Amino acid sequence: MKPGWWIKPAVFTASLIPLCAVIWSVVNGTAGPNPIEAIEKQTGEWSLRFVLLSLAMTPMAQLFKSIWPIKLRRMVGLFAFFYVVVHLLAYVVLDQSMNLTYIFEDILKRPFITAGFVAFLIMVPLTVTSNKYMMNKLGKRWKVLHRTAYLVGVAGVLHYVWLAKGDQLEPLVYLAVLLVLLGYRMTGLIKGR
Amino acid sequence: MRKRTIYSAKIRETEVTDKAVFRQRRSFIKQAAALGLTGSIAGGVSQAQAGTPLQGPIIKSPYSIDEEQTLKETATTYNNFYELGLNKGDPAKNQNWLKTEPWTVQVDGECSKPGTFNLEDILKPHAIEERIYRHRCVEAWSMVVPWNGFALGDLLKRFEPNGNAKYVAFTTLYDPDRLEGQRSRVLEWPYVEGLRIDEAMHPLAMIATGMYGEEIPAQNGAPMRLIVPWKYGFKGIKSIVKITFTEEQPPTSWNLSAPHEYGFFSNVNPQVNHPRWSQARERKLTGEAAGGLSALFTAKVDTLMFNGYADEVGSLYSDMDLAKYF
């Protein structure tokens, strides 16, 4: 077998652990008396973590001079989408009981929900075009399209910063990570990397 | 039925048990929890159950509502009390940070009988009632809690506020050495709250010293806290050490932190949304045994004007623009 054959299945399995942890916490009661809030918080945070991780893959490949982050980038990005879908479903089905009036009102009137929804919308074409076929078909435009992943990061972090009451430390940590990643890429672009 | 007889016999027994023994038992259970003897999953629940039953008769109040009560385990493990930690489960875990003995309350400002009083002297003259109230958090969740305590107005009148007493201000214990949450800068410490004097004298406003027939636990604001059922929960300041009668509107913590989001009045009002989220509906937390999944599929309910107490308190605000004075 090729060296490193186990890396992809291992990352795949590890990426499912947060989902199992969320389900387990709801079933055994450690999610607390407001399990919907707990599901939304956990899946939302994990989606954001995967978004930022996917943005960190190219810099990591350059820093560690390794091809593996590039090979794993798509999977990490797809897990970001997977967790945002679970997050959105929890909001639509559990939190709002599928009441479209309340959902549209939220999307239009609450900036933090607008930002979160925008992040989700940008992720849809990125997911659809994440396969080899679309990569070949889009050619140079693929790279431009997938740079919008940074916008997902910006919208996702805004979503979190704007919803937090009182303690903003956690969302601001995500903001700091995003700014470091953006800064790294900006200097890279300037240097023509 | 048989089981119930045994249970009431047990209560009779505790009524004659010396208070010191209770305290001992309670601190033993707390220490056991602190040592992790109760296990991490069951920890919150057993801490919540380690309550001390209130002594003496409890009078049923006509102000109680007839709704399904929130489980005690829920009301005592899902708390906003930043002094004991920022996450909802933290205050129950960190309840030993709050030292309630000895406890004194300083009363000053525009009144004839100011002074510093021991907790016993503050509470002694008041008969304890049970009042089942709706409790609506500004974060759009709610509970139904049987509080034990007495009318705030009955306490305030003892200090004989004078004609200049237009407001009454409250202060929470400041003890950053023990209350580690006060080392964070999320709010200015100590926590302060206030009411207009007519709000404070309204018979629905109460001081709670217990809940569910037990002494109020640390995470819910031991040893005495304010309950104003027609206002958002953060107005109900916990662990009160100071009461001041003032002529000017006193500063209040959340209003200082974000004045455009949290007003001085903060009456529950489904028509005035928080700038960032809707206040039209609320998630009612009744609680259920661990693993119960019905909470996942229960829809939110409509929030009521003044949290359902409009008939009682509406006249306090009859000539006010509630969108301006939110």
Does B180 reach chain A within 8 Å, measured CB to CB?
no
User: B260 in helix, strand or coil?
Assistant: coil
Query: Residue A167 above 50 pLDDT?
Result: yes
Phi/psi of residue B207, nearest 5 degrees: -100, 125
Residue B4 lies in a domain: no
Determine the average pLDDT of the residues in A74-80.
97
Cα A72 to Cα A15: distance, rounded to the nearest angstrom: 12
ipTM over cut 0.85? yes
Q: What is the pLDDT tens value at each position of chain B, 326 positions in all?
A: 333 333 333 334 334 444 444 344 444 444 444 444 433 333 344 444 568 999 989 999 999 999 999 999 999 999 999 999 999 999 999 999 999 999 999 999 999 999 999 999 999 999 999 999 999 999 999 999 999 999 999 999 999 999 999 999 999 999 999 999 999 989 999 999 999 999 999 999 999 999 999 999 999 999 999 999 999 999 999 999 999 999 999 999 999 999 999 999 999 999 999 999 999 999 999 877 655 688 898 899 999 999 999 999 999 999 999 999 99
Assigned token pair, B250 = 């006193």
The per-residue DSSP string of B36-58 comes to TTT-HHHHHHHHHH-PPBPPS--
Phi/psi of residue B146, nearest 5 degrees: -85, 100
Does A167 reach chain B within 8 Å, measured CB to CB?
yes
Helix axes A149-163, A111-128, angle to 10 degrees: 160
d(CA B74, nearest CA chain A) in Å: 6
Task: Note the pLDDT of residue B88.
Answer: 94
Instruction: Give, in order, the Cα–Cα distances in Å from A165 to each of A18, A155, B126.
Output: 24, 18, 37
Task: Note the pLDDT of residue B27.
Answer: 45
Structure-token match 């942890």, residue found: A21
Query: Taking a C-beta distance cutoff of 8 angstroms, is the pair B222, B100 a contact?
Result: yes
Assigned token pair, B283 = 């998630």
Report the greatest alpha carbon distance in chain A: 55
| CB within 8 Å: A110 and B276 | yes
Query: Taking a C-beta distance cutoff of 8 angstroms, is the pair B151, B203 a contact?
Result: yes
d(CA A122, nearest CA chain B) in Å: 23
CB-CB neighbors (< 8 A) of B92 in chain A: none
Handedness of CA A88, A94, A98, A99 (dihedral sign): negative
| CB within 8 Å: A97 and B300 | yes
Quickly count: other Cβ atoms within 10 Å of residue A58's Cβ: 17
Cα A14 to Cα A156: distance, rounded to the nearest angstrom: 22
Write out residues 192-251 of B within 8 Å (CB-CB) of A.
none
Assigned token pair, B38 = 């109760």
| CB within 8 Å: A163 and B276 | yes
Cα B287 to Cα B285: distance, rounded to the nearest angstrom: 6
**Secondary structure letter of residue A94 according to DSSP:** I
Residue B15 lies in a domain: no
What is the percent of chain A with per-residue pLDDT over 70, rounded to a whole number? 98
Tell me the CATH number at B108.
3.90.420.10
Question: Which candidate, A66, A164, A46, places its Cα nearest to that of A115?
Answer: A164
Structure-token match 């104003």, residue found: B228
Task: Note the pLDDT of residue B218.
Answer: 98
The per-residue DSSP string of B129-153 comes to EEEEEEEE-TTSEEEEEEEEEEEHH
Task: Note the pLDDT of residue B50.
Answer: 63
d(CA A44, nearest CA chain B) in Å: 17
| CB within 8 Å: A27 and B139 | no
User: In chain A, where are the structural domains located?
Assistant: 7-191
Cα B149 to Cα B167: distance, rounded to the nearest angstrom: 22
Task: Note the pLDDT of residue A192.
Answer: 59
Does B302 reach chain A within 8 Å, measured CB to CB?
no
Of A26, A30, A35, the CB nearest to B41: A30
Task: Note the pLDDT of residue B292.
Answer: 66
Mutate to test the interface with A, among B81, B187, B277 (most CBs of A within 10 A): B277
Q: Give chain A's length.
A: 193
Does B191 reach chain A within 8 Å, measured CB to CB?
no
* CA-angle at A66, arms to A60 and A69, nearest 5°: 50
Query: Taking a C-beta distance cutoff of 8 angstroms, is the pair A134, A184 a contact?
Result: no
| CB within 8 Å: A94 and B297 | yes
User: Residue B84 contacts by C-beta under 8 Å, 6 or more apart in sequence?
Assistant: B90, B91, B94, B95, B97, B98, B179, B181, B218, B219
| CB within 8 Å: B78 and A34 | yes
Cα B320 to Cα B273: distance, rounded to the nearest angstrom: 17
Cα A160 to Cα A116: distance, rounded to the nearest angstrom: 8
| CB within 8 Å: B276 and A112 | yes
Of A28, A97, A105, the CB nearest to B291: A28
Determine the average pLDDT of the residues in A9-18.
97
**Secondary structure letter of residue B60 according to DSSP:** E
Does A24 reach chain B within 8 Å, measured CB to CB?
no
Of A99, A110, A166, the CB nearest to B277: A110
Cα B1 to Cα A174: distance, rounded to the nearest angstrom: 57
Query: Residue A51 above 70 pLDDT?
Result: yes
Residue type, A72: L
Determine the average pLDDT of the residues in A4-16.
95
Cis peptide before B102 (omega within 30 of 0): yes
d(CA A83, nearest CA chain B) in Å: 18
Which regions of chain B does DSSP assign to beta strands (E)? 59-60, 104-109, 115-118, 129-136, 141-151, 167-172, 192-196, 206-211, 214-215, 225-227, 240-246, 281-284, 301-302
Residue B194, strand partner residues: B169
Residue B309 lies in a domain: yes
Assigned token pair, B19 = 């208070």
Residue B265 lies in domain:
54-317
| CB within 8 Å: B86 and A166 | yes
Task: Note the pLDDT of residue A117.
Answer: 97
Task: Note the pLDDT of residue B33.
Answer: 44
Instruction: Give, in order, the Cα–Cα distances in Å from A111 to each of A43, A102, A150, B257.
Output: 20, 14, 19, 20
Mutate to test the interface with A, among B143, B184, B260, B276 (most CBs of A within 10 A): B276
